[in-house]
Structure 1
Amino acid sequence: MIVGIKNIGQGIGKGVTTAASSVASGVGVVVENVSNIASQKKFVSPPDKKGEINELKAALSDPKIDKDPKLKKEVLQKVIAYMTMGIDTSRLFDKMILNVHTKDITQKKMVYQYLINYANTNQDLAILTINTLSRDCRDESPLVRGLALRSLSSLRLPKLVEYLLPLINEGLNDPNSYVRKTAVMSIVKLYRIAPKHIESENYVERLYSTIKDKDVQVSINSIRALNEILENEGGIKITKKMIYYLVNRVQEYNEWQLCEVLEQLLKYTPESNNEVFDMMNLLDEKLQIANSAVVMSITNVFLQFTQTMPKINHKVYTRLRDPLLLLLATAPHELAYSLLQHTKLMITREPSVFSYHFKDFYIKHNEPTYLKELKLETLTLVANEQNVKEIMEELGYYVSLGDNEVSTSCKAIQSLGAIAVSMSIATEASLTYLLDFLEMGVVHILSETFIVLKDILRKYDNDDFCSTYLPAITKHWKSIQDPKALVAFLWILGEYGEIIDSSPYILEHFIDNYTTYHHGVRIEILTAAMKLFFKRPPEMQSMLGRLFEHSIADTSHADAHDRALFYYRLLQTNVNLAREVVLTKKKIVSNFTEEESAEFRDLLFGEFNSLSVLYGKPSERFIIKGAGVLGEEEAEDEDEEEEEEEEQEQEEEEEQEETTNGTPTAHPSQNKQRLLSRGYEYVEEQGNSPTSPIVANQSPALLPNPRLIEKVEYQDCWASSDSVRQVESFKLKQRPPAQTTEQLLRANGFVTFAVRVVSEPFQFYFYGQPRGNEKSYLLIKALMGDDGSVNLELRSDAKSGGDMDNFIQLFKKSFQRYM
């Protein structure tokens, strides 16, 4: 479990009152008993014979067992154990509801748990339990009242709303805090099945009033409930008076309750610096709590409150450093990873605050690979003139250490390269380490070193530098096996061939074995040969001829074949022009595109203490807004799937009839498309009604699964002089999230090629393959502004160019819900 990440509902129910604690101790016997059951073969093992469920059914009807509480409890435990193992025990429903009248709190809890699980599939029988549940909601024991109200609201049956409303109202006024807490959460469950009653019963105002409840758990549950009910309005409305009330009770909260209050505090903007200091002083002592969720929440509040005060902000970083490093040193590996990701993000803004404590980021032998690699990335960020020597020694040790994983050694080499590129004073020392790595002769170390050396040469491109280090670099080329490393070495050969004496003869080896290499290596062989041809023509002329003979004849990969033809025709057309193209003067690289921009880091800081920092991208890129609550539709899944299968069969029959009658068949609609590669599911109705702007017999459908297009091929198609171009603009009511945009268009055959959402407007590049013209592509560039404006540029070949208007209509149809 990653602590410190926002997780709706995680804090609810954690800090119960004394009455709630009694519930846990009284009712928790069930959990203990079920755990004990797990160690007994007769309860854990799935039914050995077909009649096992029938035996349970008979046991539930046995008068002798009914009179013996101990035996009765064992039977119920066995039913619950099977249910939690995924075994279908729904046939016992009619017998289980007869046991709802028991006075034993443990048995009652197990029966209620069973009812909640199977109520949706046995709605008529579940209604029979209403009288008992209603009576239990008015029981003398607050434990029974709270348990009954929680169970009744969890049945999720719209038919029971009329019984549930008065019980919730009574629960909100109950003298016991446990019942009031349960009643608050029952309002949220009511909102899921009958949202219209939230307004009619004035529950929103009542929840605002229960924030002032004397019990802190009731207060926190009210905040949670309001945030869920008012989600479309931005959540609970925070006022100065409310914030002061919550903050002044900070000593009463447990850790999870405190996290919820801190989350609400982020929505408040202090009116003065003194107000900021007062709140920070009040929360400062809570940094001593050994709970990462609390520390990260306070960190988020401190950073947000002081972001407009640079001097104070720097001091805040210094104050937060020690608690974070202490947690990092003592936390479990999974939690340490989350903490380190956030710490790393903070270091990008204030590296000097952490640079003295660089040893806290040294890796340990027992740490998992993912944590080791993240620590190595962090070490490069804290390196400065004072500590860079020690850091490089440590990185060199990680590479030379034989028992490290391959990925860890490679990451250490990358870190050395990053230091060499970012700090000119460390370049010479870094190169010394890298050249030593080449002498080690270990394949993966050798390959990674060549890749890193290529980046360093791109940064420090001068004759003295190259003539000093290139001879040593080229000594070990025969040991390279990794395609990426071969590409890096060939780039060095082509770029500095005039300095390396043996460069044409080394390249000759690659030319003679051209067809044995990866296609990426083949492309680099062609480029390196062209560069060397213009630098050392006498030696390269015959070699280049042989290379063109091999590469043009080889059609196993389109990119390499096209590159060979391009170079060959370029030389045929104009040799001097070819020289300018191949040997064009390159700018010295100062910043690599792999480095994150300040704008991107600001986006992540805006979502600090969330999964965005762990994933390294804004939440809009991995969260589908409006997708509902996880598990909300589980009870209806089977019915939906059956309906979908019937509809699909009907569509196939209609399609077959149309085909038989000679009518052109429209692109089949898909009521449900599973995008397994992305890990999400999107449901969209796409009926072909007569009023739809897309008419089947005149709109060219796109293939549902077009051939994957490579970057070079996309660019070539886009720039082709034969392409037909068309532009279009329209407006949406609001811009959908990026992932929703991709899903909507994917359902109609438009596949995402690239996305950029770091700045406005959002940029999308899509492609598709028209049905009946599978050799061509439809390419689309879409600019989507935050005001809902959409600007399209479509390109295709002449054959499909006449259908551009229909493709535009198909594109617009994807956004019908936003029009």
Structure 2
Amino acid sequence: MSSGGGDAKLFARGKVAELRTELNSGGKKDKNHAAKKIALKKIVANMTMSNNDMVALFPDIVGCMQIPSLEIKKMCFLFLVNYARMKPDVAVKALPTLQEDMNDSNPLVRALALRTMSYIHVRDFVEATVPPTKQLLRDADPYVRKTAAFCVAKLYDHDRHLVEGSDLIDRLNSMLRDDNPTVVASALASLMDIWERNGSNSPDCSEWGQTYILEALMSYVPQESSEALLLAERISPRLSHSNSAVVLTCIRVVLYLMNYINDQKQISALCRKLSPPLVTLLAKGPEVQYLALRNALLILQRRPEVLRNDIRVFFCKYNDPIYVKVTKLELIFMLANERNIQEVLTELREYATEIDVHFVRKSVRAIGKLAIKIEPAARQCINTLLELVATKVTYIVQEATVVIRNIFRKYPNQYESIIGTLCENLDSLDEPEAKAAMIWVIGQYASRIENSDVLLEDFLYSFADEPVEVQLALLTATVKLFIQRPTKGQELVPKVLKWATEDTDNPDLRDRGYMYWRLLSSDMATAKAIVMGEKPPITAESEKLDPATLEEMCLNVGTLATVYLKPVQQVFRSARPRRLTDSPALQKQHLPNGDLDAQKSLSAFGNSQPIVKANGQGDLAAAVDAADAFFAGVGHQMASMNLNGQDEGFGGSPTVGRGEMQYVVNQNAPEQVYQPAGGQGSNGDLLMFN
């Protein structure tokens, strides 16, 4: 009952005599029983305020129960449930009315009467509830059957021997074949509650039987928040079970039920209960550890508070298998924050000196990602990376180069002082990704590196033999060099563009070469705005699962699908995808949002955009037609370029194409352009590297 608005005046301590007078007023003129409703509201309000004087009104309330008004019956039944144990001799007089209401034509009245009887822990009521419960378990209305199913569990709470001596449990089992899924779920929930209360049944039910029961609870859709909370509390003892399958299945059910609980304090309490069992699973064998860790990755994305204070338990042990170490590394990254970053960096620094090359690379990459994730700790992360680069270990230097490139993208114009250290280790770079990263740095900061043209030329000696990834990076870096320092780049640009457009058979490289040629032939200002323009910033959130996948994966915690971190249908073709079922209790506002921008991968940032019409709609056909028209004459445009050696750039008038060879733009090719905003630093100094 709301205490705000017009009902606030009801919450005043009333006298029994006055309330009795109001309750009996109205007479025949009050056809809608408005006076009685107001009086009953005052009585319920006083009852809420623990005014036990209201029990004196019991006979008057029993008399009001016969009024054919659902609203009045609800308040009368609430009074009856609250005071029946204080005045059992008076409460018994309400039994005939309740039994009569259980034959009412309105299913809401039938269900309300049965629910009221089952809530009263008085011997006469408990015994009198059994026959109508049997009758209403077969009621034509599914809502009544659902209520009757829950009443069996309530009766079991009052008198287990009475229920066991009847056939109510057998009837509940037969309801598992009901046509209505809500009734089936209610019957299952009731049976589960009975099983939880029956201590003698627990040893008899095997651990796999418990798993099946918990799994079946996933089909139950709570209609009220209290239902979900009650069920979550009932099954929470299974979190301490010795069998990992029971524990993980119980975690899955609790996570599912949290979506239907509206009390954030209760959710936080349940989250605290989920942490110890997950940590306990880490003491088992490596295979179980791996399963628990993979599921922890999912749980942290959906409920970060579950393991928020347990980062140390995920620190790697010397004898952990590599697959366990790598997964722990991912969890350490997810749990790292400003408070524990120093401890985390110290741990990662140790990992980066281990023997396993794959694990070392992952550790170095994690340090770089932490610099992007936690901005106040970026300098600490960079210093740690520089310490690792100083070891001169080839694979460490190469991995550090890759992550430093991403740090530059996140924080443009902030940490350029470390470029010198990177350039001192150019001879250590022999992997495509590391080369491409270093080439990006040289091209992006060509205006600050005095000998940037010499450094690029060293890479260009092996242009024809390099992988496409490196060739694309060289092409873009050369164009950047020319845009920032035309005099230094005027000799390299035509040579690289010629290689990219004439001497390669890769369509992506050739198309990009044509694009740059056309761009540089038209307008240098436009070229600079496009090539050196500000790009969307990268974030550490980009590797999270999209909301729809995360929702499905959380409903499959403990299954094989969570090991692969893929939707269940991608692992098992015949499996049925799971989704949260809507109900009045579903907390939609707390579900993962569908912000697609937050889910993009790092490689997606900087991608070229499709041609857009004036009305905002992309037109792929127009893009292809424009590309065909341009590439048909691109050979003659190349011949018309005029290099003049001026710092203002170069230009040329493209001629009308007469060539017969046509090309189609590869619209799906990844555009690996990583540059942040260009421009010199605040001191305007140029860095000289020999």
Are 1:295 and 2:223 counterparts? no
| Larger RCO, structure (CA 8 Å, separation 6 or more) | 2
Q: Which amino acid aligns with 2:240?
A: Q
Q: Map of 1:488-507 to 2, 5 A cutoff?
A: 488-507=437-456
Q: Deviations over 1:202-239 (max 9, x none)?
A: xxxxxx9xxxxx9xxxx99x999x89xx9xx9989624
For residues 180 and 472 of structure 2, what CA distance do their matches in structure 1 show? 52
Are 1:267 and 2:219 counterparts? yes
- 1:354 counterpart residue number: 307
Q: Deviations over 1:140-167 (max 9, x none)?
A: xxxxxxxxxxxxxxxxxxxxxxxxxxxx
- 1:478 counterpart residue number: 427
Deviation at 1:371, TM superposition (A): 1.3
- 1:686 counterpart residue number: none
CA contact (8 A) 2:444 2:480 kept: yes
Alignment CA distance shift 1:282-1:717 (3 Å):
closer
Alignment CA distance shift 1:282-1:551 (3 Å):
closer
Are 1:319 and 2:265 counterparts? no
- 2:320 counterpart residue number: 367
For residues 779 and 398 of structure 1, what CA distance do their matches in structure 2 show? 41
For residues 449 and 546 of structure 2, what CA distance do their matches in structure 1 show? 36
Other structure's SS at 2:317 match: coil
For residues 586 and 530 of structure 1, what CA distance do their matches in structure 2 show? 17
Length-normalised TM-score, structure 2: 0.55
Alignment CA distance shift 1:434-1:778 (3 Å):
closer
For residues 539 and 626 of structure 1, what CA distance do their matches in structure 2 show? 61
For residues 533 and 251 of structure 2, what CA distance do their matches in structure 1 show? 50
Deviation at 1:564, TM superposition (A): 2.0
- 1:451 counterpart residue number: 402
Deviation at 1:466, TM superposition (A): 3.0
- 2:346 counterpart residue number: 393
For residues 390 and 626 of structure 1, what CA distance do their matches in structure 2 show? 43
For residues 529 and 501 of structure 2, what CA distance do their matches in structure 1 show? 23
- 1:560 counterpart residue number: 509
- 1:333 counterpart residue number: 286
Deviation at 1:442, TM superposition (A): 1.8
Q: Deviations over 1:618-652 (max 9, x none)?
A: 2233332389xxxxxxxxxxxxxxxxxxxxxxxxx
- 1:120 counterpart residue number: none
For residues 207 and 416 of structure 2, what CA distance do their matches in structure 1 show? 62
For residues 264 and 255 of structure 2, what CA distance do their matches in structure 1 show? 10
Match among 497, 502, 518 for residue 548 of structure 1: 497
Alignment CA distance shift 1:269-1:302 (3 Å):
same
Other structure's SS at 1:445 match: helix
For residues 425 and 627 of structure 2, what CA distance do their matches in structure 1 show? 47
Alpha-carbon RMSD across the aligned residues, in angstroms, is: 3.7
Deviation at 1:451, TM superposition (A): 1.2
Q: Which has the higher strand share?
A: 1
Q: Deviations over 1:359-412 (max 9, x none)?
A: 1111122222211111000001111222111111100100022x2x21111111
CA contact (8 A) 2:483 2:524 kept: no
Alignment CA distance shift 1:589-1:778 (3 Å):
closer
Deviation at 1:425, TM superposition (A): 1.7
> Mind listing any 5+ residue stretches in structure 1 that lack a counterpart?
1-207, 209-213, 628-710, 725-774, 781-819
For residues 453 and 433 of structure 1, what CA distance do their matches in structure 2 show? 11
Deviation at 1:316, TM superposition (A): 0.8
For residues 778 and 590 of structure 1, what CA distance do their matches in structure 2 show? 27
Deviation at 1:353, TM superposition (A): 4.2
Alignment CA distance shift 1:235-1:270 (3 Å):
closer
Other structure's SS at 1:478 match: helix
Are 1:407 and 2:350 counterparts? no
Alignment CA distance shift 1:777-1:532 (3 Å):
closer
Range with greater deviation from structure 2 (432-441 or 578-587): 578-587
For residues 257 and 528 of structure 1, what CA distance do their matches in structure 2 show? 63
For residues 528 and 190 of structure 2, what CA distance do their matches in structure 1 show? 72
- Count of residues paired in the alignment: 423
CA contact (8 A) 1:493 1:503 kept: yes
Q: Deviations over 1:535-576 (max 9, x none)?
A: 111111112233234333312323222322332233233333
- 1:54 counterpart residue number: none
For residues 368 and 241 of structure 1, what CA distance do their matches in structure 2 show? 45
Q: Deviations over 1:653-711 (max 9, x none)?
A: xxxxxxxxxxxxxxxxxxxxxxxxxxxxxxxxxxxxxxxxxxxxxxxxxxxxxxxxxx9
Q: Deviations over 1:495-549 (max 9, x none)?
A: 1211222222100111232112111111110100001101111111112233234
CA contact (8 A) 1:247 1:261 kept: no
Other structure's SS at 2:254 match: helix
Are 1:249 and 2:202 counterparts? no
Structure label with greater radius of gyration: 2
For residues 345 and 280 of structure 2, what CA distance do their matches in structure 1 show? 24
Alignment CA distance shift 1:518-1:717 (3 Å):
farther
- 1:528 counterpart residue number: 477
For residues 358 and 466 of structure 1, what CA distance do their matches in structure 2 show? 29
For residues 592 and 495 of structure 1, what CA distance do their matches in structure 2 show? 24
For residues 778 and 558 of structure 1, what CA distance do their matches in structure 2 show? 8
Are 1:571 and 2:520 counterparts? yes
Match among 589, 607, 612 for residue 561 of structure 2: 612
For residues 295 and 626 of structure 1, what CA distance do their matches in structure 2 show? 23
For residues 523 and 568 of structure 1, what CA distance do their matches in structure 2 show? 14
Q: Which amino acid aligns with 1:379?
A: I
Q: Any runs of at least 4 consecutive aligned residues in structure 1 with deviations exceeding 6 A, and if so which?
A: 233-237, 714-718, 775-780
For residues 219 and 526 of structure 2, what CA distance do their matches in structure 1 show? 61
Alignment CA distance shift 1:626-1:409 (3 Å):
closer
CA contact (8 A) 2:207 2:243 kept: yes
CA contact (8 A) 2:624 2:664 kept: no
Alignment CA distance shift 1:595-1:529 (3 Å):
farther
- 2:625 counterpart residue number: 721
- 1:78 counterpart residue number: none
